[in-house]
Chains A and B, each alone.
Chain A
Amino acid sequence: SQTIHQWPATLVQPVGSPLSLECTVEGTSNPNLYWYRQAAGRGLQLLFYSVGIGQISSEVPQNLSASRPQDRQFILSSKKLLLSDSGFYLCAWSVRGSEGNQPQHFGDGTRLSIL
Chain B
Amino acid sequence: DQQVKQNSPSLSVQEGRISILNCDYTNSMFDYFLWYKKYPAEGPTFLISISSIKDKNEDGRFTVFLNKSAKHLSLHIVPSQPGDSAVYFCAASPGPYSGGYQKVTFGTGTKLQVIP
State the total of A-B contacts with C-beta under 8 angstroms: 78
> Among B2, B41, B99, B106, which residue has its beta carbon within 8 angstroms of that of A32?
B99
Q: How far is the CB of A91 from chain B (nearest CB, A)?
A: 8
Q: Which residues of B contact A61 (CB under 8 A)?
A: none
Q: Which residues of B contact A108 (CB under 8 A)?
A: 41-43
- Cβ-defined contact, B96 with A100, below 8 A: yes
A79 at the interface (CB under 8 A from B): no
Q: Which residues of A contact B105 (CB under 8 A)?
A: 43
Mostly, the B contact residues are loop
Q: What total of chain B residues lie within 8 Å of the partner, measured CB to CB? A: 30
Q: Which residues of B contact A42 (CB under 8 A)?
A: 108
- Cβ-defined contact, B95 with A59, below 8 A: no
Complexed CA–CA distance, A6 and B42 (Å): 11
- Cβ-defined contact, A95 with B100, below 8 A: yes
Stretch touching chain B among A13-21, A44-52, A63-71: A44-52
> Among B4, B34, B100, B104, which residue has its beta carbon within 8 angstroms of that of A97?
B100
> Among B32, B101, B104, which residue has its beta carbon within 8 angstroms of that of A51?
B101
Known interface pairs A41-B108, A43-B107; A102-B44 also in contact (CB < 8 Å): no
A-binding residues in B (CB < 8 A)? 2, 4, 31-32, 34, 36, 41-46, 49, 51, 89, 91, 93, 95-96, 99-109
